[in-house]
Amino acid sequence: MKKIDVSSLKKGDKYTKPVYLDPDTVFISSNSPISEADLDRLTKFGIKEVFSDGTKIIEESEEKVNKFSDDKLPFLDQNEDALRLKVIYDKIIHNRFEFDSIYSHALDIVQKSYKIIADGKSIEIREFREVAEKICDYVKGNSQISVYLNSYNQNNNYLYHQVVNSTFFAVVIGMNMDYSRPKLIDLALASLVADVGMLLVPNNISEKTGILDENEKKVILKHTLVGYQVLTQRIKLKNSLAVVSLQHHENFDGTGYPQKISGNSIEEFARIYAIADNYSSLISKRPHRQAFLPHEAIKKMIGELVTKFDLKMVRLFLNIQSMYPLGSYVELSDGRIAMVLDVNKDKPIRPSVRIIKESNGQKVKTLQFSNLGTDLQLYITKPIEAKLAI
């Protein structure tokens, strides 16, 4: 491995392969930005050089894809459904900045705190609780939040994004179960720390693209117990919250781990987080597979994976997301391309949509909406990738 002078490192730098402190100790995984805390750590321990087989990633300046960039298009349709959907759309536009701010703050706290824990130190749970409160208050006032979550772009730092995404989805489920604010905050807090054990799994195992061998599987299977022990013994988190870390890979049919418990023996918070965690993972790109489209992820969860989950909660999640989740893209029967904007709970395959492109592939020149629940001449033919809709 080649040497890298620490003085040349800057906040945000990323490398194509992991950066090491020594031949056995990973400092930063591949494609992960170096944080201010990382640089402080190097200074504190007097480390002058690090090592990597990779090269520094030079990112070209590129315009971020913004599916809401056409919000200033003229709106001409004045029928009742269109007016209702225009109100929903305007709210999504208006609240996007606040979502990005809360999401980024949560991501920073999770990344910073998880790394401190990985260094064998303790953390103040207060910061997590403050983030949990912000997430809960935001979700309660924004029923269309899944529009953002189903389209959030995460190019690196999978674990931290996964934790934050899963927390938001868990809170959405809890809110629809009529949780009180204190209970919802407890659910969010438990979710934010649920996967802390994964940070103690070596990168060469957690990011492996091939099949895990038996020893590697054993390391992965231990992460729930390790996380639970860290939370209860070092962080002193109360058991009713730490148990989510222990049980979030238990399956409702008893085929999970580490204890192979089943049904209601799994704590309710853990059953909620399991659904949120699985869905978020499915719609995310992983080293060994591409991301599933939101529609495909829902189909997988209510199909081949359904016995893993509490059936009542899965049905609730389906009602929230619909078969074509909010923020996902679809092709309509007339050839137009649309984004799912709102759910028709009694018709999960006929949501309300915003038209993005005409059948000839040209972007629309006016704001157009359609409620497929009432517009029965129109229907969805297939889900599509975002890049085909932009």
Strand pairing class (337-342; 25-28)? unpaired
Listed in sequence order, the residues at least 6 apart from 242 whose beta carbon sits closer than 8 Å to its beta carbon are 190, 193, 228, 231, 232, 235
Report pLDDT for 357. Answer: 96
Strand pairing class (329-332; 2-5)? unpaired
Report pLDDT for 15. Answer: 84
Residues shown for the chain: 390
Give which of 65, 63, 68 is closest to 367, Cα–Cα: 68
User: What is the Cα–Cα distance from 346 to 352, expressed in whole angstroms?
Assistant: 12
Report pLDDT for 2. Answer: 85
User: What is the Cα–Cα distance from 242 to 15, expressed in whole angstroms?
Assistant: 34
Whether residue 384 contacts residue 337, with contact meaning beta carbons closer than 8 Å, is answered with yes
Query: Prior bond to 258 cis, omega within 30?
Result: yes
- In the chain, what are the domain boundaries? 2-52, 84-321, 329-388
Strand pairing class (329-332; 380-384)? antiparallel
**What backbone phi and psi angles, to 5 degrees, belong to 352?**
-95, 145
Give which of 84, 143, 93, 74 is closest to 373, Cα–Cα: 84
For the chain, residues with pLDDT lower than 70 are 58-71, 153-156
pTM: predicted TM-score of the whole model, two decimal places = 0.81
Report pLDDT for 65. Answer: 40
- Characterise 335 by phi-psi region: left (phi > 0), alpha (psi -120 to 50), beta (else): left
Whether residue 70 contacts residue 363, with contact meaning beta carbons closer than 8 Å, is answered with yes
Report pLDDT for 58. Answer: 63
Report pLDDT for 72. Answer: 75
**DSSP secondary structure letters along 82-132:** HHHHHHHHHHHHHHHHHHHHHHHHHHHHHHHHHHHHHTT----HHHHHHHH
Residue 390: how many CB atoms within 10 A of its CB?
A: 14
Report pLDDT for 63. Answer: 34
Pick the CATH number of 84-321 from 1.10.3210.10, 2.60.120.380, 1.10.10.10, 3.30.9.10: 1.10.3210.10
Beta bridge partners of 56: 15
Kindly provide the residue ranges of all beta strands, DSSP E only, lying in the chain, ordered along the sequence.
2-5, 19-22, 25-28, 49-52, 329-332, 337-342, 352-357, 369-371, 380-384
